[in-house]
Chains A and B, each alone.
Chain A
Amino acid sequence: MSTQHIKVTVNGTAHEADVEPRLLLVHFLRDSLGLTGTHIGCDTTHCGACTIHLDGESAKSCTVLAVQADGRQVKTIEGMADGATLHPLQQAFWDQHGLQCGFCTPGMIMQSAWLLGENPDPTELEIREGISGNLCRCTGYVNIVKSIQQAAAEMAAAAETQTGSPVAAG
């Protein structure tokens, strides 16, 4: 079986590799690139622990082949913080106790980041629907929802500051 040459940009860094077609993207990220922040939970497309962004859209990287990422942009949890400054979602999960064991957290944050990109001001129901493909076995989700709400508010405030003035007519 022949290997495939792939070029994948992960968190802004270009990578090239020869991979077996059967190599899963999550294994490429963790084992080839050492980006172990992306977790493998159920390995059956249910739990969402392996959620990453593929060309900006959230995906479960245990159900994507590395060859499918060829020519695409991947973003993982390692790409969220800006140097020592946590992403608002990371900070909010910390502040609101949005994690206990932390296993689901990278996937939860990546899915939340995608959700807030699509819908910057989600209702609680929209948040719960938005993370419905991500399972947490510790928190009961209450604090996760609070975390996402905090991050949404902070990101909206930051966006307002950037644009100079609040949007008067929405």
Chain B
Amino acid sequence: MIPGQFDYVRPGSLGETLQILKDREGEAKLLSGGYSLIPLIKLRLAQPALLVDMRDLAGLDGIGETDDFLVIGAKATHRQIHENAIIQARYPGIVDVAATIGDPQVRNWGTIGGSVAHADPASDWPALLIATGATIVCTSQAGERTIAAREFFLDTFTTAIEPTEVLTQVRLPRRPKLAGGAYEKLERKVGDFATVGVAVMVRLNADGTIKGAGIGVTGVAATPFAATDGEAILVGNAPSDALFRQAGAAVGAQSSPGGDVRGPVEYKRAMAAEMTLRALRTAVQRALAYA
């Protein structure tokens, strides 16, 4: 497949990039790793007039903790995230996600910013960002704007980013004690998009009951979404398989999958419930182990 024609520019700084986005508002598309965008332009589902390559923008691939946040630069590759020492030590839910994205070649080059901005309805990172209450940082000439992940994914391939903005960071709340995350993804084969993926974040009270819960779901709606009905069932209650199944059923009910080669609607709802159950089991174990 041959992409349609476009112009290409590789600016040397974020400032230059923002000026280009302003001058060519609506015509330009940012290129990061390319593993989401290039397939799309090959299929001619996207036909930007100008590709703006972010390769030379320095300082956008850092991963580190501040007082409040785990900050991941937009240009961090899935592999850099997977192998990062802080994430390996304290963020097993993130490791779950990074390990299941695409395949090794995709993880070598694909970036979290590219994936999040692309907003495929079955992509993995959005589920995690929603579950953890992350914020997404977008930069324009007017400055920085933070958008809650829960308000970021508007529709299939559609986000709250303005054409003149660059997604520069994602910020996840730092992991508190007695908190744990997990991601369970059902895929037909390694490297496939999720039939359904469920990311959960659970925080426990000292008495073992659930203080807070986040559930982000991908693959079973027009866009990744927060399974708020399932979250509400969990909070205030003691963890148990019965409770997790109840939450899972609510996640299935709140899903709106389409039937396709990955399965009929009822199967997908059932699998959303099952992945929720499995992710919750793991997350609670991890929360208990992080006292």
The answer, yes or no, to whether A18 is at the interface (CB within 8 Å) is: no
Residues of A within 8 Å of B105, CB to CB, are 48, 51, 58-60, 111, 133
Residues of B within 8 Å of A111, CB to CB, are 104-105
Q: Report the Cα distance A65→B52, complex, angstroms.
A: 13
Q: Report the Cα distance A155→B60, complex, angstroms.
A: 37
Which segment, of B3-11, B19-27, B152-160, B248-256, faces chain A? Answer: B3-11
Q: Report the Cα distance A129→B190, complex, angstroms.
A: 9
User: Contact between A1 and B191 (Cβ–Cβ < 8 Å)?
Assistant: no
A51-B105, A58-B104, A67-B53 given as contacts; is B34 within 8 A of A132 (CB)?
A: no
User: Contact between B3 and A22 (Cβ–Cβ < 8 Å)?
Assistant: yes
Nearest CB of chain A from residue B109's CB, rounded to whole Å: 6
What is the 8 Å Cβ interface bit string for chain A, positions 60-71, against chain B (1 contact, 0 not)?
A: 100111011010
A46-B191, A132-B191 given as contacts; is B7 within 8 A of A21 (CB)?
A: yes
User: Contact between B102 and A63 (Cβ–Cβ < 8 Å)?
Assistant: no
Nearest CB of chain A from residue B111's CB, rounded to whole Å: 13
Q: Report the Cα distance A24→B1, complex, angstroms.
A: 9
A45-B39, A68-B55 given as contacts; is B5 within 8 A of A22 (CB)?
A: yes
The answer, yes or no, to whether B103 is at the interface (CB within 8 Å) is: yes
The answer, yes or no, to whether A16 is at the interface (CB within 8 Å) is: no
Q: Which residue on B lies nearest to A52, using beta carbons?
A: B105
The answer, yes or no, to whether B35 is at the interface (CB within 8 Å) is: yes
Q: Report the Cα distance A67→B1, complex, angstroms.
A: 17
Residues of A within 8 Å of B109, CB to CB, are 54, 57, 59, 64
The answer, yes or no, to whether A43 is at the interface (CB within 8 Å) is: yes
Nearest CB of chain B from residue A21's CB, rounded to whole Å: 3
The answer, yes or no, to whether A165 is at the interface (CB within 8 Å) is: no
Nearest CB of chain B from residue A136's CB, rounded to whole Å: 13
Q: Report the Cα distance A59→B6, complex, angstroms.
A: 23
Q: Report the Cα distance A120→B5, complex, angstroms.
A: 42
The answer, yes or no, to whether A11 is at the interface (CB within 8 Å) is: no
Q: Find B38's partner among A48, A63, A70, A115 (CB 8 Å cutoff).
A: A63
The answer, yes or no, to whether A78 is at the interface (CB within 8 Å) is: no
Residues of B within 8 Å of A130, CB to CB, are 104
Q: Which residue on A lies nearest to B103, using beta carbons?
A: A133
Q: Which residue on A lies nearest to B77, using beta carbons?
A: A57
Residues of B within 8 Å of A63, CB to CB, are 34-35, 38-39
What is the 8 Å Cβ interface bit string for chain A, positions 22-51, against chain B (1 contact, 0 not)?
A: 101000000000000000000111101001
The answer, yes or no, to whether A163 is at the interface (CB within 8 Å) is: no
Residues of B within 8 Å of A51, CB to CB, are 105
Nearest CB of chain B from residue A158's CB, rounded to whole Å: 24
Q: Report the Cα distance A20→B10, complex, angstroms.
A: 14
Q: Find A59's partner among B41, B108, B191 (CB 8 Å cutoff).
A: B108
Interface residues of A, Cβ cutoff 8 Å to B: 1-2, 4, 20-22, 24, 43-46, 48, 51, 54, 57-60, 63-65, 67-68, 70, 111, 114-115, 129-130, 132-134
**Can you list 16 A-B contacts (CB < 8 A)?**
A1-B5, A1-B7, A20-B5, A21-B6, A22-B4, A22-B5, A24-B42, A43-B1, A54-B109, A58-B104, A64-B109, A129-B190, A132-B191, A133-B103, A133-B190, A133-B191
Starting from the known contacts A44-B42, A51-B105, A68-B34, 6 additional A-B residue pairs (CB-CB under 8 Å) come to: A57-B108, A58-B105, A63-B39, A64-B34, A65-B8, A133-B105
Interface residues of B, Cβ cutoff 8 Å to A: 1-8, 10, 31, 34-35, 38-39, 41-42, 51, 53, 55, 102-106, 108-109, 190-191
